[in-house]
């Protein structure tokens, strides 16, 4: 199926973020991921560079969204690839590299968040206190900060689900695998997260 054509037919006016991400994540060369990993493991710098260029930005964005700290996101990204370099010689085709890398990154982020905040994230209150003044005419930057603040205040698992699915465009099966949950559980988290955000945005508009 032609993704761009479908997007044009359905969305029409713009190319959504999710399609930009999926276009970016698509195949970038003629060689298979298995061959690329084998070459990278053998020290082929071209294959290593291709792996990094293809997957590092996604890993960094996931880490940054989870941690909201550039340095920590960089540390998580570097640690993820350090583990990858060690893993590659014994790589088994149980998972796509992107799934494996996102899983490692998410787990590293969870560890860091636990150390920062020893509170179960899913137990955080559902009510969101919006600090931005809704009557304010939001500039593009303010609008960006606003939605970021709303997403940041979601319970951790809902934020993870939205980060992987809505922002990074991972398929439902892959996103569920990264989070270690079922597709049904993923959909539940996504629906709850989106509903909460929608209500907050609607409240802003009404105020």
Binding site for another protein (CB under 8 A): 3, 6-7, 10-11, 14, 16-19, 22, 35, 38, 40-45, 48-49, 52-53, 56-57, 60-61, 64-65, 70, 74, 77-78, 81-82, 85, 88-89, 140-141, 143-144, 147-148, 151, 165-167, 169, 171-173, 183, 186-188, 190-191, 194-195, 197-198, 201
Q: What is the nearest approach in angstroms of another protein to the Cβ of residue 118?
A: 28
Q: What is the nearest approach in angstroms of another protein to the Cβ of residue 123?
A: 23
Nearer to another protein (CB atom), residue 151 or residue 179: 151
Query: Tokens for 116?
Result: 């920062």
Q: Alpha-carbon distance 54 to 118, whole Å?
A: 34
Q: What is the nearest approach in angstroms of another protein to the Cβ of residue 95?
A: 18
Nearer to another protein (CB atom), residue 115 or residue 141: 141
Nearer to another protein (CB atom), residue 112 or residue 146: 146
Q: What is the nearest approach in angstroms of another protein to the Cβ of residue 113?
A: 19
Q: Alpha-carbon distance 81 to 98, whole Å?
A: 11
Q: Alpha-carbon distance 34 to 162, whole Å?
A: 29
Nearer to another protein (CB atom), residue 112 or residue 119: 112
Alpha helices, DSSP H only, in the chain?
A: 3-10, 17-25, 33-41, 45-67, 70-87, 97-116, 140-152, 156-162, 172-179, 183-206
Judging by beta carbons within 10 Å of its beta carbon (0-12, 13-18, 19+), is residue 154 exposed, middle or buried?
A: buried
Nearer to another protein (CB atom), residue 35 or residue 122: 35
For 87: left if phi > 0, alpha if psi spans -120 to 50, otherwise beta; the answer is: alpha
Q: Alpha-carbon distance 55 to 81, whole Å?
A: 10
Asked whether the CA dihedral 139, 141, 145, 148 is positive or negative, the reply is: positive
Q: What is the nearest approach in angstroms of another protein to the Cβ of residue 39?
A: 9
Q: What is the nearest approach in angstroms of another protein to the Cβ of residue 97?
A: 14
Nearer to another protein (CB atom), residue 171 or residue 180: 171
Q: Alpha-carbon distance 74 to 105, whole Å?
A: 11
């Amino acid at each position: 199926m032609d993704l761009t054509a479908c997007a044009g037919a359905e969305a029409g006016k713009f190319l959504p973020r999710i399609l930009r991400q999926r276009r970016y994540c698509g195949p970038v060369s003629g060689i298979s991921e298995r061959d690329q990993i084998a070459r990278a493991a053998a020290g082929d710098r071209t294959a290593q560079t291709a792996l990094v260029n293809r997957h590092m930005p996604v890993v960094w964005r996931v880490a940054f969204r989870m941690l909201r700290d550039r340095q920590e996101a960089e540390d998580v990204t570097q640690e993820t690839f350090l583990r990858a370099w060690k893993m590659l010689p014994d790589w088994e085709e149980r998972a796509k590299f992107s799934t494996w890398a996102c899983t490692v990154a998410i787990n590293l982020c969870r560890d860091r968040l636990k150390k920062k905040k020893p509170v179960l994230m899913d137990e955080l209150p559902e009510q969101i206190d919006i600090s931005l003044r809704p009557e304010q005419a939001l500039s593009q930057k303010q609008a960006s900060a606003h939605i970021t603040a709303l997403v940041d205040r979601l319970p951790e698992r809902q934020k993870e689900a939205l980060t992987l699915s809505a922002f990074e465009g991972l398929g439902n099966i892959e996103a569920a695998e990264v989070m270690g949950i079922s597709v049904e559980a993923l959909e539940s988290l996504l629906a709850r997260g989106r509903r909460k955000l929608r209500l907050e945005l609607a409240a802003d508009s009404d105020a």
